[in-house]
Amino acid sequence: MSLSRKGSSLIELLVALALVGVIAAVVARLLLSATMQLRDRSERITGEQALRVAANEFRAVVEGLGQDAATGADLGVMGPASLSARVTRAAGVVCAASPGLLVVHAGPDWWTALRDPVAGRDSVLAAHPADTGWRAFAIAAPPGSASCPDGGPGISLPVAGDSLGQAGIGAGSPLRLVEQVELRLYVSAPDQWLGMRLLATAQAIQPFAGPLAASGLGITYRRRDASPALLPAEVAAAAVRVAALTERAGGVGLVRGLAPRSDSVTVFIALLNPP
C-alpha cells in the first residue's frame, strides 16, 4: 500500500511538472507577445506625439505671419524643407513715445508675452495710427521699467530706426515684439530631426521633433487662389507634411524587428494675415 502511494506520487509529480512546464511556456509566450505589442504601441504613440509637436509648432509659427506695405512680408526663406520667418513673441500697446524710445503698457490686460524683450535679438513692429501699416525698429538697448502717463506700469523700449518712421506713433499704437527664426530639417546622424534656430544669435539649431523619415518634411506655399506661391509676399497658406519614424523597430509577429514604423501628417495652415 505504501509502495503504491509512492509510485502514484512520482507520476503525479512528473505530470504536474510537465503541466507546469507547458503552462509556463504558454504564459511566457503570451507575456512576450503582450510586451512586444505594448512596446510597439508605445513606440507608435511616441511617433504620433512627434507628429503632433511638429504640426503644432508649424501652426504656431506660420499662422500668425502676415505682411504690410511698409515692413514687407514676415516670411523670409521659403524652401521645400525649411522656412525662416519673423514671428511674434509679445504684443502690447504704446502708452508714450519720444525720439528713440517707446513706452508700452505693462499691465496684464495690456502686455501678453511668451518672454521678455532682449536687445539685439528682438525687433518691434509698431502700428501707425493712419492706415499705412506698421513700422519696424530694432531694440537698441536693454529694456527697463517705466511709468505710463496714466500712472500705470510700463516697459521702456529704446529703439533704433528712422525717426521719420517713428513720427505719428504714440499712445494707443499697437506694438509687437518679433524675432527671426528658422525651422528646418537637419541630420543628426543617423537620424533626421526637425529643428529651430534663432537667426539673430549664434545659437546652434535645436531639435524639437523626430526622428523623421528620409525627406520627412515637405512644405508647399499657396496663394489665395491655391496656386503655387513663388514669393513670400504672395503666400496665403502653407501645407506642411511631416513623416515621423519610431525610434526602435516595431511590429509584432512576422514583422517583428524588421524596421521602424512610419507615420505622417499633413497640416494646411491658412495665414491669419494673408496678402
Partner 1 sequence: MARMANAQRSGVALLLAIAVLAALGIISLTALTLARGERVAGLSAVARVQARGAAETALAHGMLGWPTALTPLAAGDSVLLSTVSLPGAALGSAELRALGGPIYAIAASGRRVSGAGDPLGAVRLELLVLLQTADSSGVIRPRAYPRGWRSLP
19 Cβ contact list (under 8 Å, min separation 6) = none
- Name the minimum Å distance from CB 52 to partner 1: 7
- Name the minimum Å distance from CB 107 to partner 1: 8
The C-alpha atoms of residue 198 and residue 86 are separated, in whole angstroms, by: 10
Binding site for partner 1 (CB under 8 A): 5-6, 9, 13, 16, 20, 24, 27, 31, 34-35, 38, 41-42, 45, 48, 52, 63-64, 66-69, 88, 91, 93, 95, 109-110, 112, 114, 125, 127, 129, 131, 133-134, 150, 170-174, 176, 272-273
Please give the distance of CA 10 from its chain centroid, rounded to a whole number.
Answer: 68
- Identify which of residues 41 and 248 has a Cβ nearer to partner 1 in the complex: 41
- Name the minimum Å distance from CB 221 to partner 1: 18
CA atoms 273, 275, 184, 216: torsion sign: positive
- Identify which of residues 165 and 174 has a Cβ nearer to partner 1 in the complex: 174
- Identify which of residues 71 and 84 has a Cβ nearer to partner 1 in the complex: 71
The C-alpha atoms of residue 253 and residue 66 are separated, in whole angstroms, by: 51
Cell 500668425 maps to which residue?
64
Cβ–Cβ under 8 Å, residues 136 and 71: yes
- Identify which of residues 58 and 134 has a Cβ nearer to partner 1 in the complex: 134
Cβ–Cβ under 8 Å, residues 47 and 147: no
Cβ–Cβ under 8 Å, residues 211 and 249: no
- Identify which of residues 4 and 163 has a Cβ nearer to partner 1 in the complex: 4
- Name the minimum Å distance from CB 152 to partner 1: 9
- Name the minimum Å distance from CB 138 to partner 1: 19
- Identify which of residues 109 and 225 has a Cβ nearer to partner 1 in the complex: 109
DSSP class per residue in 22-67: HHHHHHHHHHHHHHHHHHHHHHHHHHHHHHHHHHHHHHHHHHT--E
- Name the minimum Å distance from CB 187 to partner 1: 29
